[in-house]
Structure 1
Amino acid sequence: MLSVVVAPWGDEPVFERNGDVPHDAASTMKIAVLAALRRTGADPREPVPVVNAFTSRAGGEFANDPEWDSDPVPWTLLGATVPLGLLTERMITHSSNLATNLCLARAGHPAVDEVWRRAGATRSASPRGIEDHPARDAGVHNRVTARDLVRLVQSLDDETELLELLERNAFRVDLAAGLPPGTRVAFKNGWFPGVRHCVGLVHPDDCPPYLLAVCYTGPLASGADEAAGDPAARLLARVSAAVWERRHAISGAPALAGPPVPAR
């Protein structure tokens, strides 16, 4: 299943394909955790013990597996106390699962729920932590739609420091790979076997900025960090390149002429 939504920054979508179909959220839900921290007034200087034990939404505890984490740095800090801002940065720039759960524990699930509500999300939520398998097995799922991911990033319009952090994403694959080198893009991607998603705010030099969200669930997604090992990452890059070619038609257009979705 491929879902695509394109929207001018600050306006309604001009193109959608399966925009309201739910997908497993993967790491895109980390944007909601980021916004929740900021809106609850969390101090980036606040000391946080780095532990690997978290309360499951199903009761009991769960832990992260370093083999499933794309960022080794927080794991070297286990047992230490570090500033919350360091964990927030690694959650976004290197998609650390361990840092995400530490940030989520600080922000709290109600604050994350409020982020989605304020964004106007209709089918997306992140009620559990990353790798909370007991909750997942009990039917508690993190879900997103492409349309809600666009709404989520739109809701950051007056929080420029959060968008600037998204611009520092170290994984320049997926949507970023479909853009000309040096193009400004604030984005978050997420993947595991069977799933590959990305949402980004693209800033062309020659026209107004636009939002693009692409969610893919299916056999093309290998779960590899790099595009060379994941056909789904290359698919997302081709979608991004196709939208880029039509970027001048996005702002103020009633609809894009034809689907900006290339053949696989």
Structure 2
Amino acid sequence: MIFDALDARLDRVPGTVSAYVGRLDAAPTWTRHPDATHYAASTMKVAVLVALHRAAEAGRLDLDAPVPVRNEFDSAQPGAPRFSCARHYDNDDAVWERLGDVAPLRWLAERMIIRSSNLATNLVIGHVGLPAVSDVWARAGARHSVTGRGIEDFAARDAGVTNLVTAADLAALLGGLALGAGRPGPLAAPGSCVVMLDTLAAQEHLEDIAAGLPDGTRVAHKNGWVRGVRHGAGVVYPDDAPPYAIVVCTTTDLADGGPSGEDDDDACRLIADISRAAWTARHDLT
């Protein structure tokens, strides 16, 4: 079996590699340490995206209303000073070019996903609130994932407030979005789920899971990386088989911490290889 061979290979990888592969609304075909917690990196931005759309559905905010683009945020640690993002640590100049101006929340949410903008992420969190993000994880049925702070909130980080994910929880969140696009579900209305999946499918960082798929394959996905961590999570839509969820979370020295592709990052290459294997087995997933 192709997944037996993957397990044998992953047994030799330093650190922790978690994985989940399976059809939507069904038991997974293959998992590996699915409930092990990993630092979330940018995969937490999917839950932030859902929280934003839920707030819009409830009438608490207007996605097309322009909001100030500023770089000053409240810390999740009570009593800590406000914090800011570092531009050199971000992946999207477009949001920084609007600093001091305004931008629609919808556009900020798109930049948060397709370019993984940290500045946009903190701006969106500032409008929806961390409790709303926690509610999204709960609605998805997540058991261990936590979004406790914004990006670069170092005072909260130093106090032990962190962002965690598991492979199983990310699969539940993304699978819930995919299923919710076709029928009412706990995360958002079908129309909102469609919009969010289209945003995830417009992802411009095409390493990791996307790199293991044939060109042109639709995949609604989000990746994340910091030094020692590399994750990829998505829903793949083959033309000749039902869609499936695939999540790979790695906490390993193989991850160099940058948005590099397979040629430069061993953890990125590993995730792409797992994605290729899942694609090869797409007709046999249960």
Q: TM-score range by the shorter chain?
A: over 0.9
> Bigger shift: 58-67 or 122-131?
58-67
Name the structure 2 match of 1:149: 170
Name the structure 1 match of 2:114: 93
Identity of aligned residues (%): 49
> Bigger shift: 3-12 or 121-130?
3-12
Name the structure 1 match of 2:70: 51
1:187 to 215, 221, 224: 221
One-letter amino acid matched to 2:237: H
Aligned-partner Cα distance in 2 for 1:43–1:88: 12
Does residue 8 of the first structure (1) align with residue 23 of the second (2)?
yes
**Counterpart of 1:77 in 2: which secondary structure?**
coil
One-letter amino acid matched to 2:72: A
Aligned-partner Cα distance in 1 for 2:128–2:25: 27
Name the structure 1 match of 2:37: 22
One-letter amino acid matched to 1:13: P
Q: Report the alpha carbon displacement of residue 81 of structure 1 after superposing the two structures with TM.
A: 1.0
Name the structure 2 match of 1:171: 205
Query: Is the 1:118–1:155 Cα contact (8 Å) retained in structure 2?
Result: no
Aligned-partner Cα distance in 1 for 2:265–2:201: 22
Name the structure 2 match of 1:249: 284
**Counterpart of 1:215 in 2: which secondary structure?**
strand
Aligned-partner Cα distance in 2 for 1:14–1:239: 13
Aligned-partner Cα distance in 1 for 2:153–2:226: 15
1:235 to 270, 276, 281: 270
Name the structure 2 match of 1:70: 91
**Counterpart of 1:229 in 2: which secondary structure?**
coil
Superimposed CA distance per residue, residues 60-109 of structure 1 (whole angstroms, 9 cap, x where no aligned partner): 21110111111111111110011111111100110000000000111111
The root-mean-square deviation of aligned C-alpha atoms, in Å, is 0.9
Q: Report the alpha carbon displacement of residue 43 of structure 1 after superposing the two structures with TM.
A: 1.7
Aligned-partner Cα distance in 2 for 1:7–1:134: 38
Report runs of 4+ in structure 1 exceeding 3 Å deviation.
Answer: none
Q: Report the alpha carbon displacement of residue 10 of structure 1 after superposing the two structures with TM.
A: 2.2
Instruction: Tell me the number of residue pairs that the alignment of Structure 1 and Structure 2 aligns.
Output: 251
> Bigger shift: 42-51 or 162-171?
42-51
One-letter amino acid matched to 1:20: D
One-letter amino acid matched to 1:103: V
**Counterpart of 1:61 in 2: which secondary structure?**
coil
**Counterpart of 1:198 in 2: which secondary structure?**
strand
Q: List runs of 5+ in structure 1 lacking aligned partners.
A: 254-264
Q: Report the alpha carbon displacement of residue 141 of structure 1 after superposing the two structures with TM.
A: 0.7
Name the structure 2 match of 1:257: none
One-letter amino acid matched to 1:232: A
